[in-house]
Amino acid sequence: MKLSLKRPLENEAGLNRLGVLIFVLVVSATVFVGSQVFPFYYYASELEGMMDAQARKATIFSDAEIREYLLIQIRKLEIPIEKQSDLKINRTNASIIIELEYEEVLYIDIDEEHSYDLHVFKFNPRVEHPL
């Protein structure tokens, strides 16, 4: 009995390399996009936590003091807001509501003159706390 070892076809080896290359490209793109998008959600969560902390202290601080503190934190987190009045603070006899609507844009810079928006993420952190 004679055993014969067949050489793999040249095309099969090429397909294997192509598959690995595609896999590496997909994983690299996923890691890149994830590293760009993760901060959007992290900062939105941080801001919501700060809004909640300020809402809990609403009996001590005025709306103006709460707004000033939150606007400083928004600048530190580099959250893009159009104008300061986008931060809404509504106080009633029973509760306080703090909310902010804003958008973060995932884009790619090709060069100084060309950039392409890939996706717009909309965020609306909102907290309500009884007084």
Q: Check whether 79 has a pLDDT greater than 70.
A: yes
Ramachandran area for residue 78 (φ above 0: left; ψ -120 to 50: alpha; else beta): left
CA-closest candidate to residue 129, choices 40, 66, 85: 66
Residues 13-27 pLDDT 10s: 556 878 888 989 999
What does the pLDDT read at residue 86?
92
Residue labelled with tokens 């055993």: 3
Number of H helices, E strands in the chain: 2, 5
d(CA 42, CA 36): 11
| Tokens encoding 119 | 């996706």
Residues 27-49 pLDDT 10s: 998 998 899 899 999 999 999 99
Q: Kindly list the strands in the beta sheet with 87-91, ordered across the sheet, starting from the edge strand earlier in the chain.
A: 87-91, 95-100, 126-130
b vs e for 22-50, b when ≥16 Cβ sit within 10 Å of the residue's Cβ? eeeeeeeeeeeeeeeeeebeebbebbbeb
d(CA 111, CA 104): 20
CA-closest candidate to residue 106, choices 115, 93, 97: 115
Residues 105-128 pLDDT 10s: 998 888 888 888 889 999 999 999
